[in-house]
């Protein structure tokens, strides 16, 4: 008897970070089931036994209250960063630390994708790590992975880290 355990993964990040592109890469050639969403900027997708919930952290405040319901039992938080967007990195930082402080995310490990590494002037994962103050994170496993969602480079290393945490 196979036990299909569902894993909940929250994919978040500012608009334009590359979340949709990353999900598309994960889901390529797979049958995708989408569930009704709570708002136009929230996507809910089940792939294999992984339940992905994705939204923009810069989204409407009115939707924010409902996000909490999605936090429950989330095992992973994937934060997607546009590595060329220096200006808005502090917003991602603030949201990241807010999410990690949420009691429903107590168990969640965090994967940060430093996306758009193909673009000139993109910040390195080391620089982003420092700017987001990742070393201050207590009580959560975390990992930062440089990637290029357009080509898929780095995405599987990120998923491998997640798979390793599930063992
Ligand atoms: P979302 O708003 O976070 O879902 O971002 P999207 O996935 O819609 O991507 C926003 C824009 O960035 C689109 O034009 C993508 O083609 C582009 N984009 C996403 N990932 C990359 C990347 O790794 N490199 C480059 N050059 N562009 C990217």
95 or 43, which is more confident?
Answer: 95
Query: In whole angstroms, what is the distance from residue 35 CA to residue 100 CA?
Result: 26
Give the tens place of pLDDT for each residue, 33-57. Answer: 555 445 555 677 776 677 777 777 7
Catalytic residue among 25, 60, 157, 165: 60
139 or 73, which is more confident?
Answer: 139
* Residue 4 alpha carbon to ligand 1 centre in Å: 32
Whole-prediction pTM? 0.89
Position 3 scores a pLDDT of 46
- Ligand 1 in contact with 154 (CB < 6 A)? no
- Ligand 1 in contact with 115 (CB < 6 A)? yes
Count of all residues that appear for the chain in the document: 167
ipTM > 0.85 for the complex:
yes
Element (H, E) at 80: strand 76-82
Nearest 5 degrees, angle CA 79-CA 107-CA 3?
A: 100
Q: Is 60 a catalytic residue?
A: yes
Task: For residue 114, list its beta bridge partners.
Answer: 81, 146
């Amino acid at each position: 008897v196979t036990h299909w355990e569902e894993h909940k993964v929250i994919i978040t990040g500012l608009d334009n970070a590359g979340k949709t592109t990353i999900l598309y890469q994960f889901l390529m050639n797979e049958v995708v089931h989408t569930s009704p969403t709570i708002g136009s900027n929230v996507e809910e997708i089940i792939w294999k036994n992984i339940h992905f919930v994705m939204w923009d952290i810069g989204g409407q405040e009115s939707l924010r209250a409902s996000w909490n319901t999605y936090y429950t039992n989330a095992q992973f938080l994937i934060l997607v960063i546009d590595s060329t967007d220096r200006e808005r990195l502090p917003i991602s930082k603030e949201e990241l630390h807010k999410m990690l402080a949420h009691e429903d995310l107590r168990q969640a490990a965090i994967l940060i994708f430093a996306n758009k590494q193909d673009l000139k002037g993109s910040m390195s994962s080391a620089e982003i790590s420092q700017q987001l103050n990742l070393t201050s994170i207590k009580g959560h496993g975390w990992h930062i992975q440089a990637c290029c969602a357009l080509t898929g480079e780095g995405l599987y290393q990120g998923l491998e880290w997640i798979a390793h945490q599930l063992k």
